[in-house]
Chain A
Amino acid sequence: MIGGMTKKIAVSLPDDVAGYLEAQPNASATVAAAVRARMRPARLEEMLVVLGYEITEDGKAAWRRQLSQPMSPAAQERAQQLRADFGIAEHS
Chain B
Amino acid sequence: MKDSPVAVVFDLFALNHYVSGPVAGLAVAELISEVGAEGRLAAVSALALTQALASHSPDRDKSFGFAQLQWFLTENSDLAVFSMTPGQVEPTSRVMQTGWVEVGFAHTILLAVTHNAQFATADPVAARSILGLDWPILDVSERPFS
Contacts and interface: CB of A to CB of B under 8 A. Distances in A.
B144 A66 contact: yes
Given A54-B26, A78-B132, A91-B4, A62 B144 contact: yes
Interface in A63-92: 63-67, 69, 71-72, 74-76, 78-79, 82-83, 85-92
Given A71-B116, A88-B88, A90-B1, A41 B110 contact: no
Interface in B46-82: 68, 71, 75-78
A40 B136 contact: no
Contacts of B138: 63, 66
A45 B114 contact: no
A55 interface: yes
A53 B1 contact: no
Interface string B19-58: 0011001110111111111110000000000000000000
A29 interface: no
B13 interface: no
A91 to B, nearest CB: 4
The CB with the most chain B CB atoms within 10 A, among A62, A74, A83, A91, is that of A91
A51 B71 contact: yes
Contacts of A75: 132, 134-136
B8 A67 contact: yes
Question: What is the predominant secondary structure among interface residues of chain A facing chain B?
Answer: helix
A17 B31 CA distance: 32
B27 A47 contact: no
Nearest to B67: A51
Given A51-B22, A78-B131, A90-B116, A59 B30 contact: yes
Interface of B: 1-2, 4, 6-8, 21-22, 25-27, 29-39, 68, 71, 75-78, 88, 90-91, 94-95, 98, 110, 113-116, 118, 130-132, 134-136, 138, 143-145
